[in-house]
Amino acid sequence: MGLTVGIVQGGAVYIDDTKITVETIMHSLSFKVMVHAASMNHVFTISDRKATEVLPNVMMSAGNKGSSEMVKVVIDAPAHMKILREKLYLEAQTDAVSG
Domain of 27 in residue numbering reads as 3-98
Q: What length does the chain have?
A: 99
- What pLDDT, on a 0 to 100 scale, did the predictor assign at position 1? 65
Q: Which residues contact 10 (CB under 8 A, 6 or more apart)?
A: 21, 22, 23
Domain total of the chain: 1
Output the tens digit of pLDDT for each of the chain's 99 residues.
Answer: 689 999 999 999 999 999 999 999 998 899 999 999 888 899 999 999 999 999 999 999 999 877 889 999 999 999 999 999 999 999 988 887 776
- What pLDDT, on a 0 to 100 scale, did the predictor assign at position 99? 62
d(CA 95, CA 99): 5
